[in-house]
Chain A
Amino acid sequence: MAEIAGVAGPGAHHAPTKRANWVPYALLVPGLAWLFVFFVLPMITLGSQSLQEGSVEAGYTFTGNVAIYAEALQKYWPQLLRSIGYAATATVAALVLAYPLAYYLAQKAGRWKNVMLVLVIAPFFTSFLIRTLAWRTILSDTGPVTSIAQKLHLTDLLQAVGLTNNDTLLSSKFAVICGLTYNFLPFMILPLYAALDRLDPRLVEAAGDLYASPFQGFRHVTWPLSLPGVVAGTLLTFIPAAGDFINSRLLGNTQTVMIGQVIDSQFLRVLNYPLAAALSFILLILILGLVTFYVRRAGTEELV
C-alpha cells in the first residue's frame, strides 16, 4: 500500500481525500438555500409584517406595534382554543382508529401488507379539497349516513353531547372533527406502521410467557415500544389539523370557525395583513409550546 502511494505521488494520493471532504457540504447547499429562501425569509417578512401599520392602499410602515398581538389574542382567543381542541380531538380519534389498523398491517397482514399500504395512501391521489367536499355529500341531510344515524338515535346522542345542533350531521363540530380525522388519518397510520413493523413479535410472546395477560402485554411491551410511532403520528396529525382552514369552512358553521379560517380571511378578504401575521405567529408559538411539552413528556415515557 505504501509503495503504491509512493508510485502515484503524494499529490495524487491526497486529492481524493480533499474532494470527499467538501462534497457532503456541497450536497447540503441546495436544500439549505431552499429553506432559506422559502422558509427563513418569509418568516422574517411575516414577523416584520405583524409589526407594521397602515393599509393596502396607503402602504405599510414598520412601527413596532406589539399591541397588535394583544388585540389578536383578545379578539380571536375562542377560535384559537377551538382549533387546539378540535385538533386534539381529531388526533385522539385518528390514533384510536389507526392503531389497530397499523398493528394489523405490520404484524398480521402477511402478503396483503403492500396492497393494504397502497390503500392507506390511495386517498392522496385526489385533492385535499375534493376529499373534504366529498364529506359534504357523505354527511348530507338526505344521505344514507344521516338517515341511519337518525334511526339509531346517534344524532340525538351527538346533539346531547353538543357535537351537533340539530338532528342532522353536516355543519357541526362533529362534521369538522370527522373531516380533520379523515384527512390526517394516513399521517397517523404510516408512522405507527413503521414503529409496529419493527416490533419483534417474540417480545410479545415473551411477555405472555412471563404471566402478562394480552392487555398487560400490550401495556408494558407493545405500547411503549410503539411510542416513537405514536409521537410522530400525533405530531403529524395535530400540527396540520390545528392550522387547517378547509374542514371548518366546508363542514362547519359560524360557531365552528377555526383559527386557520380567521387567518385566511384576514389575509385574503379583510386585507388586515398585520393582524393576520400576528395570528399566524401566535398559532406558531402556541403549537411549538404544546409540542415541546408533549415531546418532553413522551421522552420520559410518562406518556400514557
Chain B
Amino acid sequence: MSRVRVLVGTRKGAFVLTSDGKREKWKVDGPHFGGWEIYHVKGSPVDPNRLYASQSSGWFGQIIQRSDDGGKTWEPPGGGPTTTPDGMPKGESNKFVYEGEVGKHLWYDGTPHPWEFKRVWHLEPSLTDPDTIYAGVEDAALFRTTDGGRTWQELPALRSAKGHLWQPGAGGMGLHTILLDQSNPNRMYVAISAAGVFRTDDAGKTWRPATRGLKSSYELPDKNSEVGHCVHRIAMHPSRPNVLFMQKHWDVNRSDDAGETWHEVSGNLPTDFGFPIDVHAHEPNTIYVVPITSDSEHYPPDGKLRVYRSRTGGDEWEALTKGLPQRDCYVNVLREAMAVDSLDSCGVYFGTTGGQVYASTNGGDNWSPIVRDLPAVLSVEVQTLS
C-alpha cells in the first residue's frame, strides 16, 4: 500500500510526518535539529530515503544534513565513510563560497554591495542522481553538489544575468525556487526575491531573465523592468513544463511559453498577494494559492484561512474552506510551505506560521490538521512512497 511522508521545516527544527495511503492517522517524528531553523527538507525522487535538510542558525551559520533512511537518522555529509579515525563527522558540507570575483549587487541605499553568503533557502535534488542537488542561497546564487552534499560549487553564470542590478527586499535576497524540466535536462528555472525569474537552456552555463509581461506597479519605478520583480514562488506540472504559474508579491501570473511571456491570472481572488502556489498532481490546470491580505498585513483577509483553487489555470477561483478556521485566524503561509502528493486522490498540504500543518486528501475540498502546535512552519514537502 502507498504511504506518504511529509517533511516539515520549522523555525525550531524539522519534523517528519508519516501516514499510510488513507492519510487519516499520522505519526509525528521530531524535532530533528531542535532549536535550529530548518528552511527546507527535500527527498531525492530517485532514492526517496535520501533526504537533505538545510539547517541554519544566526549563531552558527549553515549546516547541510543528509539522511539515507528516510529521516530516521541524519549526518552532515562527509560523515559516514569519510569520518575521522575516531568517528567524528568530517566534511565541508556547510562551505558555500562564491566562485571567482565575489562581485557586487545593489544595497538598500542603492550603492554596490559585495555578495555575502547567509543561508540555504532551498534544496532541489536532481531528477536522475541522488548525489546531485541544487541549492538556492541568500545572497542569491545557485550552488550544486555532485557528491551527495559533501562539497558545493557555485554555478556562477546566474549572477551575470544582471546581478549587479539585483537589490534585496526586506526579507533578504534569497534564491527560493528551483524548477527542473524533466523533459529537457538542460533547462532550469530559478526565482529570486526582489530580482525575478531566470532561465537557463544549457544546464546553467548561461542565464537570462524570464520576466516579460510581469508588472510591479507598486514595487518598482519601472513596472515593466526586466529585473527587480519580487517573485514569491513559481510552479509547474511535470507533464506540461512550458506552462508556469507564479505567485508574485502582488499578482498571480501564468506563462504558456516557458517563461518567455507572462500574463496575470488573479481573476476573482479576494487579494492577489500571497506566497505559495502549487499544481494538482494529476490535473495540470488545477492550481492552489493562499491569498494574504496585503504586503503590510501578512495574514488572511477577514481572519478566514482560505485556500483558493482554480481548475482553469487561473482567472476563475473558488474558496476552499471546509475544515479551515473561518474566524480569528491570523497566520501566514510561507512560500515554501505548500506541497501535493501523487496518490490517486491528490493530497494537498500546507503549513502555517502558527505551527499547523493542514492536509486535504481530496484535492482541497476538505481539510484537517495533521498537527496544530509545531513551531512556525517554513517549508512543507511531500513524498509519495510505494
Q: State yes or no: do A and B come from one complex.
A: no
